[in-house]
């Protein structure tokens, strides 16, 4: 189940990276690089932090194939996407929901404290997007007012609360992932954001 979620998250983030790169009018090589960095950036940082090396995508060539295939499909179907900004947002949101759970599970398997596990989930979900935005000369979403990392944290809390109940692990995964996705969707729809600190 964890592997399937990881692959789905990889697809979602790779497509997200492709859409940003197309918006920036990058060439084919640039598009593939952005897709790759977006898909595996957060997971790479997570694996290095917990000492799980070589990192996951280096141990399993399937991730590379999945990223390349996702990028090619997104490029070919780019003309079918009427609302590029909406599509980017949806794929990005699905990606953070899936990757949050992957990061949390990695922390659990490493016997880390739940708070650290939630932090790992947030890093896994957010930092591929951070690297993507920096390479594309954008201020990363996580550093702006939008609810992004906060949604990951809420999903992580939901995961550990649900884990205490007599519920199947797959159901816990599903509900926690939905919490992340719904929290971000609602925050954007109703313009909910964290307060911004201004200099007096």
pLDDT (tens digit, 9 = 90+) per residue, 124-156? Answer: 999 998 999 999 999 887 777 668 889 999 999
Identify whether the C-beta of residue 126 lies closer than 8 Å to the C-beta of residue 198: no
28: number of CA atoms within 13 Å, CB side?
5
pLDDT at 200: 61
CA distance 87 to 22: 13
pLDDT at 71: 93
pTM value? 0.86
Q: What are phi and psi of 146, to 5 degrees?
A: -55, 145
CA distance 10 to 75: 16
pLDDT at 130: 92
Question: Can you tell me the mean pLDDT for 77-93?
Answer: 71
Identify whether the C-beta of residue 18 lies closer than 8 Å to the C-beta of residue 75: yes
CA distance 1 to 109: 14
Q: What is the per-residue pLDDT across 169-184, written as a single tens digit (0 to 9) for each?
A: 889 999 999 999 999 9
């Amino acid at each position: 189940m964890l592997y399937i979620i990881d692959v789905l998250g990889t697809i979602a983030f790779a497509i997200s990276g492709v859409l940003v790169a197309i918006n920036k009018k990058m060439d084919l090589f640039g598009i593939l690089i952005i897709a790759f960095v977006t898909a595996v950036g957060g997971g790479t940082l997570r694996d290095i932090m917990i000492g799980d090396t070589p990192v996951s995508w280096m141990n399993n060539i399937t991730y590379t194939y999945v990223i390349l295939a996702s990028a090619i499909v997104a490029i070919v179907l780019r003309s079918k996407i009427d609302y590029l900004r909406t599509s980017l947002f949806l794929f990005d949101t699905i990606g953070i929901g899936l990757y949050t759970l992957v990061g949390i599970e990695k922390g659990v398997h490493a016997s880390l404290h739940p708070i650290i596990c939630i932090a790992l989930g947030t890093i896994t979900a957010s930092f591929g997007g951070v690297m993507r935005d920096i390479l594309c000369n954008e201020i990363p979403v996580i550093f702006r007012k939008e609810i992004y990392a906060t949604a990951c944290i809420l999903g992580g809390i939901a995961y550990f609360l649900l884990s205490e109940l007599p519920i199947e692990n797959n159901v816990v995964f599903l509900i926690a992932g939905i919490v992340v996705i719904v929290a971000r969707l609602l925050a954007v729809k109703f313009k909910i954001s964290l307060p911004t600190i201004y200099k007096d």
